[in-house]
């Protein structure tokens, strides 16, 4: 294996920081080489809140990854989430005056679409092409080579507030490391947990983290809607801590042991250690009700948002829930009950040479590798040309990994 084929990715969550090394074959097959994870520090709701703490946590995870992978990491692909991330659909048109559409026309139309919605205080993360319109013909995948008068590009644009973007870069600034790609966390999750059939039919992927929930709707293989809600699993934990008057750590352990959908045995009780007091006894159902109520509120808030945006009809395939919050027992059934849409849990396998880990919280890290491979997800205005798979590998993956050198 050549060193230049290795890619490093890091998912900086509010609860956990996960990093991994992998190779990607020309056909997109990901082989994991090494993995490291540590509790997150200095990051809340997807944004940096304490640079020193965040830098220390990054040091811990990257040092461990370097040891586990027996290499020195010089560049990485990373994710970004939080309310600073915004997604918008946009259209841009150019005149082609009866001639053949070429790549340059396509790029001009896409650029116009971007200019129509993009504001100066934001940094562009992704321009995701949806479709093209040539005169009156809609739904064109690739207009290059076709003849027409007016070309319109439909795109979904994801950007992030510049301050949030530069603060993310800042947590790597003390190390000799380049951040090659910053990927919207929700997008990475979509790629990791949905099948091509689901992306065609239309699904809504919810990456439920500790502090944020990333919403992404994909239909006809096109990203139609993205948004981030600044709430996640920690809200449920803090409710349990508040109502049961216990520490957050105790509440977290209790949360892993309740079911927010199926009623439990009415006689079952939980002895919950209080703050400096003797333990209190609560019926398990009462605790589950506290969590259920908050889940219902969050589901209703989500549906209201989706309804307001007019995108509810775009995901007949229902919900795929992932991220650590998707582990909450009964959540997928509760979502189905309240929304009348199917829901499934999107688990991801992390297959390392010496072990296999499976779970929802690996969705973003695995999606980051897929995004590094898929040209549509790493395309920027300076790299707008479509290329074949080998071309892609040459221009993106090889450039990403060129600086990752085996050292030991």
Ligand X SMILES: Nc1ncnc2c1ncn2[C@@H]1O[C@H](COP(=O)(O)OP(=O)(O)OP(=O)(O)O)[C@@H](O)[C@H]1O
Q: Which of 210, 209, 123 is nearest to 169 (CA)?
A: 123
Q: Is position 89 an interface residue for ligand X (rule: CB under 6 A)?
A: no
Q: What part of residues 367-386 is at the interface with Mg ion (CB under 5 A)?
A: none
Binding string, 203-222, against ligand X, x = CB under 6 A? ------xxxx----------
CA-based torsion, 192, 196, 198, 204: positive or negative: positive
Q: Is position 367 an interface residue for ligand X (rule: CB under 6 A)?
A: no
Q: What part of residues 11-30 is at the interface with Mg ion (CB under 5 A)?
A: 13
Q: What part of residues 3-42 is at the interface with ligand X (CB under 6 A)?
A: 13-16, 40
Q: Which of 222, 186, 225 is nearest to 371 (CA)?
A: 186
Binding string, 318-347, against ligand X, x = CB under 6 A? -----xxx-xx-------------------
Q: Is position 202 an interface residue for ligand X (rule: CB under 6 A)?
A: no
Which range of residues in 134-142, 218-226, 228-236, 376-384 is near ligand X by CB under 6 A? Answer: 228-236
CB of 234 to Mg ion, least distance (A): 12
Binding string, 245-284, against ligand X, x = CB under 6 A? -------x--xx----------------------------
Question: How long is the chain?
Answer: 408
Instruction: Tokens for 313, please give them.
Output: 């009809």
Instruction: Tokens for 290, please give them.
Output: 């506290």
Residue 159, contacted partner among Mg ion, ligand X, none, CB below 5-8 A by kind: none
Specify the 3-state DSSP secondary structure of 142: coil
Q: Give 152 or 327: the residue with its C-beta nearer to ligand X.
A: 327
User: Which residues are within 8 A (CB) of 263 and not within 5 positions of it... i.e. 6 or more apart?
Assistant: 285
Q: Give 143 or 209: the residue with its C-beta nearer to Mg ion.
A: 209
Beta bridge mates, 124: 159
Axis-axis angle for helices 233-243, 284-308 (nearest 10):
140
CB of 31 to ligand X, least distance (A): 23
Count CA atoms within 13 Å of residue 345 on its CB side. Answer: 20
Q: Give 82 or 202: the residue with its C-beta nearer to ligand X.
A: 82
Q: What part of residues 259-318 is at the interface with Mg ion (CB under 5 A)?
A: none
Residue 37, contacted partner among ligand X, Mg ion, none, CB below 5-8 A by kind: none
Q: Give 80 or 393: the residue with its C-beta nearer to Mg ion.
A: 80
Size of residue set near ligand X by CB under 6 A: 24
Q: What part of residues 154-213 is at the interface with Mg ion (CB under 5 A)?
A: 209
Measured between alpha carbons, how far is 21 from 33 in angstroms, rounded to an integer?
Answer: 5
Specify the 3-state DSSP secondary structure of 214: strand
Measured between alpha carbons, how far is 307 from 85 in angstroms, rounded to an integer?
Answer: 20
Burial class (CB in 10 A: 0-12, 13-18, 19+), 197: exposed
CB of 123 to ligand X, least distance (A): 19
Instruction: Tokens for 281, please give them.
Output: 């006894």
| DSSP per-residue codes, 84-101 | TEEEEEEEEEEE-TTSB-
Query: Would you tell me which residues interact with ligand X (CB under 6 A)?
Result: 13-16, 40, 46, 81, 209-212, 232-234, 237, 252, 255-256, 323-325, 327-328, 361
């Amino acid at each position: 294996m050549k060193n230049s084929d290795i890619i490093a990715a890091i998912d900086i969550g509010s609860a956990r920081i996960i990093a991994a090394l992998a190779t990607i074959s020309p056909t997109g097959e990901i082989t994991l080489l090494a993995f490291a994870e540590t509790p997150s520090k200095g990051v809340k709701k997807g944004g940096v809140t304490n640079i020193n703490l965040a830098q220390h946590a990054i040091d811990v995870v990257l040092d461990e990854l370097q040891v586990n992978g027996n290499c020195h990491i010089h560049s990485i692909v990373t994710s970004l989430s939080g309310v600073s991330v915004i997604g918008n659909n946009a259209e841009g048109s150019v005149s082609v005056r009866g001639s053949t559409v070429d790549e340059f026309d396509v790029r001009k139309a896409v650029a116009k679409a971007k200019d129509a919605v993009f504001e100066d205080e934001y940094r562009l993360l992704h321009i995701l092409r949806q479709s093209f319109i040539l005169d009156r013909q809609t739904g064109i995948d690739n207009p290059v080579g076709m003849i027409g008068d007016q070309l319109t590009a439909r795109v979904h644009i994801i950007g992030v507030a510049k301050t949030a973007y530069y603060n993310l870069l800042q947590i790597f600034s003390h190390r000799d490391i380049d951040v090659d790609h910053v990927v919207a966390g929700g997008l990475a999750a979509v790629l990791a947990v949905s099948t091509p059939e689901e992306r065609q039919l239309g699904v809504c992927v919810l990456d439920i983290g500790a502090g944020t929930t990333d919403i992404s709707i994909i239909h006809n293989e096109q990203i139609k809607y993205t948004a981030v809600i600044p709430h996640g699993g920690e809200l449920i934990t803090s409710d349990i801590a508040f109502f049961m008057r216990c520490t957050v750590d105790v509440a977290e352990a209790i949360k892993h042991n309740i079911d927010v959908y199926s009623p439990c045995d009415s006689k079952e009780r939980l002895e919950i250690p209080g703050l400096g007091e003797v333990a209190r006894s609560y019926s398990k159902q009462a605790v589950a009700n506290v969590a259920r109520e908050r889940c219902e509120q969050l589901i209703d808030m989500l549906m209201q948002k989706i309804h307001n945006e007019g995108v509810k009809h775009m995901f007949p395939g229902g919900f795929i829930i992932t991220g650590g919050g998707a582990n909450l027992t009964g959540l997928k059934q509760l979502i189905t009950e309240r929304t009348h849409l199917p829901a499934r849990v999107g688990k991801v396998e992390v297959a390392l040479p010496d072990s296999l880990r499976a779970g929802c919280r690996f969705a973003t890290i695995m999606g980051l590798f897929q995004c590094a491979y898929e040209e549509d997800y790493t395309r920027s205005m300076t790299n707008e040309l479509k290329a074949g798979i080998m071309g892609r590998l040459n221009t993106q993956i090889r450039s990403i990994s060129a600086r990752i050198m085996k050292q030991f």
